[in-house]
Amino acid sequence: MRNVLIIVISGLLVAQPTMAQQPAANIDIRHTIAALPAKAHVDVQLTNGTVERGRIVSCAENDFAFKADDGAGEQTISYGSVQSVAQLDGGRSKRKWIVIGVAAGAVIAAVAIAIALKNHGPVLNGGGRL
């Protein structure tokens, strides 16, 4: 009887960490995804080795809705099939700010030229007047 009890307790101690790891990983992934801003642009690495890039649309208890950048429709991904999630930097927003900066610089240059021409008139022959 004592040997049976030792075997059962040993089996429980060995099985407990492996049973507890999977739900804990799912909870960690779920919390990571829930902490991201709305419609965050992310890379989702799945347990099968593939990486999906897109936006998280919504979160549920056991899965989340995901819209891939490649134009495919919305898909549902279970937390258990996700190995990791990484939020991407705002690459598109950097490009947007560069375009806005160039456009603002062009407008400022055009206004400065217009003011200079209005105040001093066109300069001909190196600034000499006839």
Q: Average pLDDT for residues 36-61, to the nearest whole number?
A: 89
User: What pLDDT band is residue 125 in, cutting at 50, 70 and 90?
Assistant: low
118 shares its domain with 71:
no
8 shares its domain with 34:
yes
Pairing of strands 41-46, 51-59: antiparallel
28 shares its domain with 65:
yes
Q: Give the count of domains, the chain.
A: 2
- Asked whether residue 127 carries a pLDDT value surpassing 70, the answer given is no
Q: Average pLDDT for residues 99-120, to the nearest whole number?
A: 86
State which residues form the domain around 27: 1-88
- Asked whether residue 86 carries a pLDDT value surpassing 60, the answer given is yes
User: What pLDDT band is residue 93 in, cutting at 50, 70 and 90?
Assistant: low
**pLDDT value, residue 10:** 64
Q: What is the CATH number of the domain that holds 45?
A: 2.30.30.100
Q: Which helix (H) or strand (E) holds 12?
A: helix 2-35
